Copies of this chain bind each other. A is one copy, B any other.
Amino acid sequence: MQQEIFAVVGGDLRQAWLAGRLAERGNSVYTALLDRDVELSPRVHKTEGAARAVEQAGVVVLPLPITADGIYLNAPFGKEKLTLEELFPLLKGKLVLGGRTAGRAKELAQEQGVELVDYFEREELAVLNSVPTAEGALELAMAELPTTIFGTRVLVTGFGRIARVLCRLLVAMGAQVTVAARKYSDFAWIGIFGAEAVHVDALAEQASRFDLVFNTVPAMLFDRRVLAALPRDAVVIDLASKPGGVDFDTARQMGVKTIWALSLPGKVAPISSGEAIKDTILNILDERRDPLGQ
């Protein structure tokens, strides 16, 4: 494997972990803004300030998300704050890998002629992240329910990556799993996964059967009608991004316990999640060396 000089600037436990793991593989790794409350591998070179860290680096790893507010680099463990405006001029000529780069970061990269790749858009990272997301969702459900997962009647809406991993887990644990989907081929897969399929359009008629609901669809499936049909003690865990899939205000009024669980991987399993980002970064580098390999 070819060695690189990496700079890892900002981020949380995930970036701290991946910095160590890249170093263990024989790469030179410089970090900045990972100063406090975080343990770094002794193989990592800790530097003062982003400028020093990126100086010799060929590849710069930025956080996921790259910024929380559109202004500052996302660096909760940094002693100081750094704006994207300050950072990007330092990155000229480097390969820069960051997560959720759309917006200001992307603009700055274009202005400064910096090559910026969004690792969060990679399919393999999405797949790898579905495992901590599903486990985190399961942990939330276990904490909320006064019953075991075994024997519980569970509804999963959608049948994308997260839903598939969750469905596997729940079936393996002995839950009675129903998946709401729309496509005939998904119905076939759902049966193969050991679950029952229902059409999403039938949610209101079906909802009374379920003690636990995981929504993975970013569309308003759980409106007043469906919420009203759920059993009184049902727990709804919404894993869908951006608008979510639950009418939270109505749910609150109706007393339906609802949890909107976002960004679980970094929260429940930062090390596994950092490992996944590291693997994805290495894949990106591999592909650039051997574009026909894939």
Contact = CB atoms under 8 A, between A and B. Distances in A.
B135 A192 contact: no
B269 A127 contact: no
B283 A184 contact: yes
Contacts of A283: 184
A192 B131 contact: yes
Contacts of A149: 135
B169 A192 contact: no
Majority secondary structure, A binding face: helix
A187 B122 CA distance: 13
Name the residue in A126, A183, A184 with the highest tally of chain B Cβ atoms < 10 Å from its Cβ: A184
Nearest to A145: B269
Given A124-B184, A172-B173, A294-B182, A148 B192 contact: no
A139 B148 contact: no
A271 interface: yes
Nearest to A182: B294
A265 B67 CA distance: 43
Interface residues of A, number: 49
Given A146-B13, A169-B172, A169-B173, A192 B271 contact: no
B188 A127 contact: yes
A174 interface: yes
A128 interface: yes
Contact of A151 (B123, B272, B294): B272
A82 to B, nearest CB: 26
B192 A165 contact: yes
A290 B131 CA distance: 37
Nearest to A123: B185
Interface in A131-181: 131-132, 135-136, 138-139, 142-143, 145-151, 165, 168-169, 172-174
Contact of A135 (B127, B142, B168, B272): B142
Name the residue in A122, A136, A192, A280 with the highest tally of chain B Cβ atoms < 10 Å from its Cβ: A192
Contacts of A142: 135-136, 138-139, 142, 268
A185 to B, nearest CB: 4
Nearest to A280: B184
Contact of A271 (B147, B184, B268, B269): B147
A88 interface: no
A76 interface: no
A89 interface: no
17 contacts: A123-B184, A124-B187, A127-B185, A127-B192, A128-B188, A132-B148, A135-B148, A135-B149, A135-B150, A142-B142, A146-B269, A147-B272, A148-B269, A150-B272, A165-B192, A172-B173, A184-B280
